[in-house]
Structures are given as C-alpha cells and as structure tokens.
Amino acid sequence: MKKFTTLNSHIIPLAIDNVDTDMIIPAQHLKSVSKEGYGENVFSALRSMYPDFVLNKPQYNTGKILVSKENFGCGSSREHAVWAIQQYGIETVICNSFSDIFFNNSAKNGLLLITQPLEVINEMLAIAEQDSTAVMTVDLPNQSISYNGKGYHFDYDGFRKHCLINGLDDLDYLMSHASEINKYEEHHGKA
Amino acid sequence: MKQNIINKIWNTHLVHSKAGFPEMLYIDRILLHEVTSAQAFAELKNRNIPIRNKHNIIATVDHSIPTDKNRIVIADEIARKQVDTLRANCKETGITIYDIDSHHQGIVHVVGPELGFTLPGKTIICGDSHTSTHGAFGALAFGVGTSEITHAMASSCILQDKPKTYKVEFKGMPNQYFTAKDAILKLIAEIGIGGGKGCVIEYVGEYIRSLSMEARMTICNMSIECGARAGLIAPDATTLSYLEGREYAPKGADWEQAKQEWLALASDEGADYDYSITIDISGAGPMITWGINPEHAIALNETTPAINAGGDKATLEKAYAYTQLQPGQSLIGTAIDFAFVGSCTNGRIEDLRAVAKILDGRKVANNVTMYIVPGSEQVMEMAQAEGLDKIFAAAGADFRMPGCSMCLAMNPDKVPEGKRCISTTNRNFIGRQGPNSITHLASPQTVAASAVLGKIAGQEHLA
C-alpha cells in the first residue's frame, strides 16, 4: 500500500449529500477481474448526464482533494469505488460524514478520508468554487489541514493513521495474530 | 449484566481486542459471488497465503449472468470472463460453488438461507452490501469490500470497530395492504439514508414477530439503505421451523442443542441500546419512493414533499428534475413502462405467490413490460410446481431465470433510457436500473397492481 504523509493540492468541490457508490462507479463498469482500469470511469454517468458536473470542468482536472457534504460513499459495498477515485488521482476526500463500508474500504487502500463540521465544509466548497487555484495542504502526521491562511485540526483513528503513514495493510496485522486465532478456534471450534 | 443480541454475538466472536485498535472479529461464514471475489483470490495467490477455512465458504453466480432461458451462453465477453474466473478459483481452491447446473444457483442472499448455510448467532460476510439480509436469522451479517473478503479468507477474521446498537420497534397494526417492504421504507423515510450509520439495528415488536422468514429478510435486507452496518431479528419458533432439515443446518442431537443456544441469543429483558426508535404503523398503508434514494419515500396515498420540506435542497431539486415529477403531486396514476419483481429484497417464493395472486386472471397492461425474476433456482422450481409460472405467462409477464437482473443492470436486463419502472428492488439511485432510467421502489403487491393498470396504483385500485 502507498504511504500517505502530506498532500498539497487544488480542491474539487462536489457540493451534494449522499454521494453513493453507484454514482462513483456505475455497475456496468464492475465486470473486471482486476483492481485496475476504473479511474477513467469515475462518476461516468453524472459526467455524461450533466455537462456542468464538476469533473467536466477543466479547471478542476488536477485536484487531488475532493470535498463533498454528508454521507459520502453510501449504498453498494463495491470497493471498486475506492479504486476508481484513487486511480482518477484523488488522494483525500473531505466530508461531513462517510458511510461505514466505504470508510473501511478506503482505509484499507490508503485513501485518506477526513471529516469536518458542515460549516467548514461549506466554507471549503465556497472557496473552491470561487477559486479553482486555491491550494490546500493535508498533513496526516499532524492531523491538520491548512488553506486560505487558516489551519484546521482533524480527528483520525490511531491504528489507521499508523497504517497509512507506513503503507501497511490490515492483512499483515491479522496474520501476525495467528496464535490468537488458533486459540479462538481451539476454544470455539471451527465454525 | 443484561445484554442485547448484537453485543452477545459480537462478544463471543472477539479474537483480539486492544485499546486504540479496531477489534479482531472471527467470521464464521463467507459468501462469494463473481463481482467482488476475483481480486481477493488474486491477492491471496500473489502473497502465497492459503485459505484458512474453505469449508466455511460457499459461492454462487448472480450479478453478471443473463436471466434468459439460454443463459449458459454469456454473450458479454467481460462478464463471461468474470464468471469463468470464479469457477476456476473455486475449482483450484476446493470451495463449493452453486453454479447454474446445481439447482441451487441464485442471488447469494437467497441461496444462503435456503441452504441453511445462514444460521443464528453466526458472523457472516459477503462482498455485497445486502448481506444484512441474513440478519433475519439472528446472525450478525454485514457487507464488506473485497479487501475484507481477502482478510477473512486468509485469517477467518476481519478488523472492525465495535458498532453502536439501535433498537427499532414497529408498533401497532397496519392496514391489509401493508407489507414488510412498506415497513422498511417507512423506517428509512423517517430516519434517513444515513440514519443508521455506525449501527447494527435489532428489529423488535409484535409486528416483526408476526412476520414470515421471507418478510423478515426483506426488512433486514434494506437495513443498509439507512446506512446501518447490519440489521437482525432474534431467532424464534418461526426461525427454527424455517431452518429445520435444511442442507447445512445441524441434525439430530446437534439440532436439539443448537435450538437451545439460538433461542438463548434473544436480547435480555431490559438490555440497553445506544439508540432506539418506535415506528408507529397503526393503520399504515403501502409506501413508494418518488426520488433518487430510498429515503425519498412516501405513503402511496400521500403527495410528494415540498422542496423546502427539509433535507438538502439541491438534492431534492435534482431528484425532481431526474424523476420528472413535481412537489405536491400524487404518484397514483403516473404512467409506467416497466415493472420488475425480483432481487435479494423481494425475489423469494412468498413474493412470487403474492404477485401471482394479483396477476391471476388479469393481464399486464399493453404499455408495460413486466419481468419476474426468481431469487434462486429453488424459488423458480417451487413457483413452477405451484403453477405460478403459468399464471405469469397468461398475464403476459416474462418469468425469467434466477439472478440479480434489473436490480443493478449489470447484466443485459436494463430499463431503457428515460423509461419509468416500478420495482421491488432496494435502490432508486440515479441510473441504477440502467443509465437515465427512473425507479420507484415498492412492494411486490404494489408492483403487480401497477403493472396491471399500466400506471402507479395500489391493490385497492384493482377492480
């Protein structure tokens, strides 16, 4: 897994609630047997339906930070949604809240999800919409965001922070606890 | 200490727990299908990690396969490769697959219960959000991504933060046309699409106890649509009578012992929950969605909400523009082009019987194409044995082979652009049943009545 420490980038403002994983990667693009090739189809239905959709605007092409509102990533458990976002070039998503499965899937792939209060989100969205060249800095070790001359703290789970900064994945952690798993199975029997 | 069923199951499955770390939870059962498993098999192979407990895993094909009679031939080359990859992976690793020659193929959430692979008190995962369905049996069952499938195949464990517990009680008795689908839509309309985030819901109350296993599965299935990680219902006599004698269910003395253990899972009287809500369904009637996510649901006899009725105004405006409806209107009488009965929400035998009862002696309207897709081969064979297939054919509906079909439009079954469908599925997201298609979620009975009348209608509107 790729390590994540700090990121400087423009912001992509996606000012809606309940961005579902069908929107992020529509089902017709899920037939692959690999983890690659999803980036070009990220938000494909919305991009074709709405000419003014944010990812159709050239000035937001280079953004690596996506800002949206409430309940981002709801719906289907498809991890392809995380792969698609990352392969498009987005490394951080900032929202007021995320759905549980999407949150888990993101941490396991090194996509940093940050939650912020709605008033901060609205401020970020307004700035990004007015000025597509505004630059934001995300600093994971210090759990801080700075942009527009202001700094903000974000909470982040210690275990997931450790994994992201060091590029470690959960499987190594689980496998390192094999003796506990053996003990569990000796006591409970294999299911 | 008094415990609810959610914490009882969670605590007995804890393998390792450390402050500041997510908990290591033991997983008893893994269900696989073609869409979310290939990358998991590949990862294990690349890292040279064997599957820890392959007898705890079963697979079937459901999302990408065609549902026409000649479904053995998969015309879409990419879909064919995906299905063949699952077959090859199962063969290579010795995992049981219920393929289309097995008489047990079907939607993974229909097949698991009917084989008795889904059992009370178990932890169950699948790379599909509607894994919450299996909670109807008093199992802790949740949808995960492909990474967590990989983890569970390798270690029989996944890392999860302990969920919050949420008690949902349905109170009162609804009208005769109200179904389990209407109950869950009413809950989602009330608490919202993110209302259950971070939680496992336990459904309780007289109404829940009165429901069949099929109806309980419909309710648990859509728990994910209010953002809950899982939904469950404590096992009771209904659960036991459904499971007895099924292929993977314990037999003989083991069955007697299992029964006692399962009934003991029920939440202790007076147990605490992090959240609770009571939904009053006294006199309630059928529900239907009007917008672009499942919280956009109203009673069939209500009118659509105003733009400033609450929630995100931009989303409501977008929803009305997409569904070509206006605030303040009744949906009754809105012309439809398609009617779909099926999916892991409502593709069970009880759903098909309810539809057949309405279609018997009636015809699907000329302007409507109706698909009825059984959730599994067992459901299909039961429907044929009961003569439901003949009723469907006489009514002019297309009774197809088992699969996810038009629920998510991954196979050739799609609602065409701009067409309006009334559907027993679980999501009315933008383009869910096909690019630019419009979906109204409703019960099988409401879908059947609407199909006959050619426009959105309830059973009470039938002559």
The per-residue pLDDT for B22 is 94
Say which CATH class A6-188 falls into. alpha beta
For residue B135, the model assigns a pLDDT of 98
Report pLDDT digits (tens) over B402-417: 999 999 999 999 999 9
Q: Which residues of A touch B23 (CB under 8 A)?
A: none
Interface check for A180 against chain B (CB to CB < 8 A): the answer is yes
The residues, ordered by sequence, that sit 6+ positions from B446 with a Cβ below 8 Å of its Cβ are B286, B288, B300, B422, B457, B458, B459
d(CA A70, nearest CA chain B) in Å: 8
From B39, B64, B193, residue closest to A71, measured CB to CB: B193
Is A162 in CB contact (< 8 Å) with chain B?
no
Q: Do A181 and B156 touch (CB under 8 A)?
A: yes
Tokens of B164: 């919050």
Residue type, B12: T
Are B56 and A190 within 8 A, CB to CB? Answer: yes
Query: For the CA atoms of chain B, what is the radius of gyration?
Result: 21
Distance separating alpha carbons of residues B346 and B214, to the nearest angstrom: 8
pLDDT in tens, A127-178: 999 999 999 999 999 999 999 889 999 999 999 999 999 998 899 899 999 9
Q: Which residue has the tokens 């199951």?
A: B9
CB distance B79–A31 less than 8 Å? yes
The residues near A100 (Cβ < 8 Å, ≥ 6 apart) are B197, B198, B227, B229
Ordered DSSP codes for B47-69: TT---S-GGGEEEE--SSS--ST
| CB-based contact B25:B13 (threshold 8 Å) | yes
Q: Is A74 on the interface with B (CB under 8 A)?
A: yes
* CA distance to partner chain B, nearest, from residue A117 (Å): 16
Concatenating the DSSP letter of every residue in A107-152 gives: HTTT-EEEE--HHHHHHHHHHHHH-TT--EEEETTTTEEEETTEEE
* CA dihedral angle for residue B67, residue B72, residue B77, residue B79, rounded to 10 degrees: 50
**A81 → chain B, closest CA residue:** B145
Mean pLDDT of B450-462: 97
How far is C-alpha B104 from the geometric centre of its chain's CA atoms? Answer: 18
Contact call for residues A105 and A93 (beta carbons, < 8 A): no
* Alpha carbon distance B153, B150 (integer Å): 5
Could you tell me if A118 lies within 8 Å of chain B, comparing CB atoms? no
For A1, the closest chain B residue by CA position comes to B147
Flag if B410 and A178 touch (Cβ within 8 Å): no
Its CATH architecture, for the domain B298-461, is: 2-Layer Sandwich (3.30)
Q: Which helix (H) or strand (E) covers residue B15, if one does?
A: strand B14-16
Query: What are the structure tokens assigned to B453, written together?
Result: 């009348």
What confidence score (pLDDT) does residue B69 get? 94
Lowest mean pLDDT among A128-142, B177-191, B304-318: B304-318
Phi-psi region of B460 (alpha: psi -120 to 50; beta: other; left: phi over 0): alpha
Q: What is the residue type of B274?
A: D
pLDDT score, position B310: 77
Contact flag B53-A190 (C-beta cutoff 8 Å): yes
Provide CB contacts within 8 A for B164, sequence distance 6+.
B198, B199, B200, B274, B275
The alpha carbon torsion through B415, B86, B153, A84 (nearest 10 deg) reads -50
| Closest chain A CA to residue B322 | A49
* Average pLDDT of the residues of chain B: 97
Contact yes or no for B155 and A181 at CB 8 A: yes
Closest Cα in chain B, distance from residue A186 (Å): 12
Q: Which structure tokens are listed for B349? A: 């035998």
Q: Which of B28, B82, B312 sits opposite A17 (nearest CB)?
A: B312
Q: How far is CA B171 from the centre of its chain?
A: 23
Q: With a CB-CB cutoff of 8 Å, which residues 134-153 of chain A face chain B?
A: none
**Residues of B in Cβ contact (< 8 Å) with A158:** 20-21
Chain B residues closer than 8 Å to A173 by CB: 159
Q: Is B361 left (phi over 0), alpha (psi -120 to 50) or beta?
A: left
Taking an 8 Å cut-off on Cβ atoms, the answer to whether A78 and B145 are in contact is: yes
For residue range B125-157, what is the model confidence (pLDDT) as tens digits?
Answer: 999 999 999 999 999 999 999 999 999 999 999
Q: What pLDDT, in 10s, does the model give residues B2-51? A: 999 999 999 999 999 999 899 999 999 999 999 999 999 999 999 999 99
Mean per-residue pLDDT, B55-61: 97
- Cα gap B158→B151, rounded to integer Å: 6
Cross-strand bridge partners of residue B122: none
Beta strand B287-289 pairing with B297-299? antiparallel
Residue B211 DSSP one-character state: S
Geometric angle at alpha carbon B199, from B196 and B200, rounded to 5°: 110
How close does chain A come to B390, measured CA to CA in Å? 33
A99–B197 CB contact, under 8 Å: yes
Q: For chain B, how far is it from start to end, CA to CA, in angstroms?
A: 56
Q: What is the pTM of this model?
A: 0.97
ipTM at complex level = 0.95
Does A70 contact B at CB distance below 8 Å? yes
Amino acid of residue B357: K
What distance in Å separates the CA atoms of residue B142 and residue B129, rounded to the nearest whole number? 7
Q: Would you state the pLDDT for residue B309?
A: 82
Verify whether the Cβ–Cβ distance A20 to B429 is below 8 Å.
Answer: yes
- Which helix (H) or strand (E) is B270 found in, with range? none
Given the structure tokens 């109350």, which residue do they identify? B205
CA B82, B112, B13, B191 dihedral sign is positive
Is B381 in contact with B352 (CB distance < 8 Å)? no
Neighbouring residues of B77: CB distance < 8 A, sequence distance ≥ 6: none
Shortest Cα distance, chain B CAs vs residue A136, angstroms:
26
The strand pair at A144-147 and A150-153 is best described as antiparallel
Tokens 């195949």 appear where?
B153
- Distance (Å, whole) CA A156 – CA A141: 10
d(CA B63, CA A27) in angstroms, rounded, equals 10
Q: Give A-chain residues touching B35 at CB under 8 angstroms.
A: 30-31, 78
Backbone angles phi, psi at B39, to 5 degrees: -70, -25
What residues in chain A have per-residue pLDDT under 50? none
CA–CA min distance B286, chain A (Å): 23
What is the signed CA dihedral for B112, B115, B119, B122, rounded to 10 degrees? Answer: -50
- Return d(Cα B275, Cα B28) in angstroms, integer: 27
To test the contact with chain A by mutation, choose from B39, B254, B417 the residue with the greatest count of A C-beta atoms within 10 A, namely B39
Q: What token pair was written down for B388?
A: 């439901």
- Taking a contact as any Cβ pair under 8 Å apart, which residues of chain A between 35 and 64 contact chain B? 35, 45-46, 48-49
State the DSSP H helix or E strand holding residue A14, giving kind and residue range, or none if neither.
none
Which residues in chain B have their CB less than 8 angstroms from residue A101's CB?
129, 142-145, 229
pLDDT at residue A21, as a whole number = 97
Q: Where do you find CATH 3.30.499.10 in chain B?
A: 5-275, 298-461
Residue pLDDT, tens place only, B63-114: 999 999 999 999 999 999 999 999 999 999 999 999 999 999 999 999 999 9
Structural fold of domain B5-275: Aconitase; domain 3 (3.30.499)
Nearest residue of B to residue A30 by CA position? Answer: B35
Structure tokens at B426: 């679980």
Q: For residue A34, give the nearest of B39, B431, B435 by CB distance.
A: B39
Please report the number of interchain residue pairs, chain A to chain B, with beta-carbon separation below 8 angstroms: 191
pLDDT at A191: 59
| CA B437 vs CA B64, B157, B404: distances in Å | 19, 40, 17
Residue matched to tokens 């003796």: A179
Set of chain A residues whose Cβ sits within 8 Å of the Cβ of B436: 49
Q: What percent of chain B has pLDDT over 70?
A: 100
Position B381 pLDDT exceeds 70: yes
What is the pLDDT averaged over residues B250-263?
A: 98
What is the token pair recorded at B41?
Answer: 């098999």
CA dist., res. A37 & res. B269, Å (int): 52
Q: In B, which residues are within 8 Å of A191 by CB distance?
A: 26-29, 53, 56, 122, 156
